[in-house]
Amino acid sequence: MKTPKAIIITAVYLVLLIVAAPGLSFLKPGLLRTDKAKATYRAEHGVLATTLVSAAGNLRRTQKPLAKALGGFQPIFRVRQSWHLYRDGPSTIRRMEIRVDGVPVYRTMDDHLRWAEPIFRNRRIRPMAETLVKKPRAKNRAGLGRYIVARARADFPAAQVVEIRSLWSKRGGEPKTHHRMVASAPEWTLEDDQ
């Protein structure tokens, strides 16, 4: 009875090791699948590298259907997510910008536009600001927006318009307004504008 139990436990461990192997999910399943691809790779990198990369490709081809059939193992082990986290960052950069009478006074992570930055970078407020920028109809947008308008009216008494913009851009691209909220004198009621 001990031998079958040991074999089963070893097989389970091997399956889990293959399914959750760090970095394996980044390999394309077609890596060195054909003899032509192996010959080309061998000519450039040598026999040892070809053998190792070919073994990794075979392991990936075995792992992909297993991971799909057993689903949920990689998210539990968080292997895939943590590797992606350090690979290249988010594809879309989102920033909050606040304008008073059309003049920018605050923008997330901007060294020159830092009005009320300690508030927006506070660990309790920052998630609310990030959600406001990410979702046009965020649940917390009204409360945070009212605070921003009240603070802007106190700091800029002559202000007539306060605008909260969500700027989106691709890495290295020009930011564009995705959605915004505007409040103007004398009512100072926040209005969504997309």
Q: In what order do the strands lie in the sheet with 92-100?
A: 103-107, 92-100, 161-170, 176-184, 191-193
Quickly state the pLDDT bin for 147 (edges 50, 70, 90): very high
Averaged pLDDT, 141-154: 91
Res 100: pLDDT: 95
**189 shares a domain with 98:** yes
pTM listed for this prediction: 0.55
Mean pLDDT along residues 106-120: 90
Lowest mean pLDDT, pick from 14-18, 99-103, 139-143, 148-152: 14-18
Rounded to the nearest integer, the mean pLDDT of the chain is 83
pLDDT surpasses 80 at 190: yes
Same domain, 104 and 186: yes
My answer on whether 79 and 118 are in the same domain is: no
Q: Could you tell me if 189 and 121 lie in one domain?
A: yes
Whether residues 96 and 83 fall in one domain: no
- 194 contact partners, CB below 8 Å, separation of at least 6: 136, 178, 179, 180
Give pLDDT, residue 152: 94
Tell me: the pLDDT tens digits for 52-80? Answer: 888 888 888 887 777 777 665 544 444 44
Helices (H), 46-178: 47-70, 73-77, 79-87, 117-120, 126-134, 141-155
The reported pLDDT for the residue numbered 78 is 46
Shared domain for 70 and 116, answered yes or no, is no
Domain boundary among 87, 122, 145: 87
Note the Cα 9 to chain centre separation in Å: 36
Q: Which residue has the higher pLDDT, 137 or 35?
A: 35
Verify that 97 and 189 share a domain, yes or no: yes
Total tally of structural domains belonging to the chain: 2
Could you list the residue range(s) of the whole structural domain that residue 110 is in?
A: 92-193
Looking at the structure, tell me whether residues 183 and 97 fall in a common domain: yes
Shared domain for 25 and 98, answered yes or no, is no
Q: Are 168 and 178 in contact (CB under 8 A)?
A: yes
